[in-house]
Amino acid sequence: MTPAQMAAIHKQCFTTPRPWRAEEFAETLSKKFYFCLSEDQGFLIGRVIAGEAELTTIAVAPAARRQGIARRLMARFDDELRARNAEIAHLEVAMENHFAHALYLATGWSDSCIRENYYRHPDGKRSDAILMVRDFGPDIF
């Protein structure tokens, strides 16, 4: 998937945080630790540095939702993190994004804490984010 295609999908999905431009996708993906997983009408960007991972963004075109694309991307993300020896992963999700929060919970993520006033909306208002975590480290028991 090209940066322009990613930007087009991202624009359909987000106002908060603001959608990324194609140049921002290209710049991010040119960095050493970032990677993109994509399917038709959806993509995910993540990174792994020194055993710590972050789900940077995930987007599925509204017309293609409820077809399992996000769930498949999350499963592939898990595989990628294991291949890159990630021990722990983090993501932020807008408090009001109930569908994404439910997806993350269903795919093994746990709520960690609240980041107050994390997102800025186009009208200047701010909203909270839920910080979520997933442990990929070795079992200790």
Quick check: is 104 catalytic? yes
Separation between Cα atoms, residue 92 and residue 31, nearest integer Å: 21
Active-site option among 27, 80, 92, 118: 92
Name the token pair of 28: 């991010």
Cα-based distances in Å from 59 to 4, 42, 62, 111, 114: 14, 6, 9, 20, 22
Q: Tokens 């290209």 sit at which residue?
A: 26
Considering only CA atoms, which of 124, 55, 48 is closest in space to residue 92?
A: 55
Cis-peptide, bond into residue 17, ω within 30° of zero:
yes
Tell me which of 39, 54, 80, 104 is the catalytic residue. 104
Active-site annotation, residues: 92, 104
